[in-house]
């Protein structure tokens, strides 16, 4: 389904359904160490969320291969959720994730939110997630950013439903977020778009 410098992602068919396999062993030799670290981060996050509706079930993991549940649905930019109930449910989903000690760190991307066949939200792609059971100060800052990114999507699809408090959150990104926008993001965009040839919404079809 996808092959890049960080490995291969495959949709696998089984008698019981479908699963997604991420194979970091096929990553470029110079980036294999990073691909394995990202795979391990995803495994820790999914293990912490095990049994929770709206997140993929972790099937198995090794140093180089991760198998997870395939969730039915379409990415946000395809499903275009305009029902405020979707965003209320998504906010509850993210808060539950935070209570279990996981921040996602990549919810700015619409493909990381799914619209399920029932019209409910689901969250996928935990490569950049952080599992921190103690939920210290840094965790709380990053958790706020997860919610702020959800509100950015709500502003896109349901702008008239934003509350005054939500608008204040949108207007006040955290200090790390402001630093990232000025320093890290330009480098990230250069590497992903110029070097890797990615686009913001790439992967919508292989992240379910």
Residue 149: CATH number of its domain:
1.10.510
Q: What is the DSSP letter of 159?
A: G
82 belongs to a structural domain: yes
60 belongs to a structural domain: yes
How many CB atoms lie under 10 A from the CB of residue 177? 18
Per-residue pLDDT for the chain (208 aa), expressed as one digit of tens each? Answer: 788 888 899 999 887 789 999 999 998 899 999 999 999 999 999 999 999 999 999 999 999 999 999 999 999 999 999 999 999 999 999 999 999 999 999 999 999 999 999 999 999 999 999 999 999 999 999 999 999 999 999 999 999 999 999 999 998 887 665 554 555 545 545 555 555 565 555 433 333 3
Residues 78, 111: contact at Cβ < 8 Å?
no
187 belongs to a structural domain: yes
Distance CA(145)–CA(9), nearest Å, equals: 27
**For the chain, what is the domain count?**
1
User: For the whole model, what pTM was predicted?
Assistant: 0.84
Domain with 87 in it: 2-195
50: exposed, middle or buried (C-beta count within 10 Å: 0-12, 13-18, 19+)? exposed
User: Closest Cα partner for 110 from 142, 70, 156, 66?
Assistant: 156
């Amino acid at each position: 389904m996808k092959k890049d410098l960080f490995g291969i992602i495959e949709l696998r068919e089984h008698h019981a359904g479908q699963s997604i396999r991420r194979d970091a062993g096929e990553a470029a030799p110079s980036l294999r160490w990073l691909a394995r670290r990202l795979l391990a981060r995803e495994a820790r996050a999914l293990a912490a969320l095990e049994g929770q509706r709206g997140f993929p079930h972790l099937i198995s993991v090794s140093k180089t291969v991760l198998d997870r549940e395939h969730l039915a649905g379409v990415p946000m930019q395809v499903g275009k959720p305009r029902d405020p109930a979707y965003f209320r449910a998504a906010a509850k989903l993210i808060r539950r994730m935070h209570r279990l000690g996981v921040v996602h760190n990549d919810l700015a991307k619409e493909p990381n939110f799914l619209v399920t066949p029932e019209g409910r939200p689901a969250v996928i792609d935990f490569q950049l997630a952080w599992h921190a059971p103690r939920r210290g100060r840094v965790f709380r800052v990053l958790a706020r950013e997860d919610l702020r990114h959800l509100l950015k999507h709500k502003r896109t699809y349901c702008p008239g439903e934003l509350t005054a408090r939500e608008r204040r959150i949108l207007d006040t990104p955290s200090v790390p977020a402001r630093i990232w926008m000025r320093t890290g993001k330009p480098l990230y965009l250069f590497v992903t778009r110029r070097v890797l040839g990615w686009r913001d919404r790439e992967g919508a079809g292989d992240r379910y």
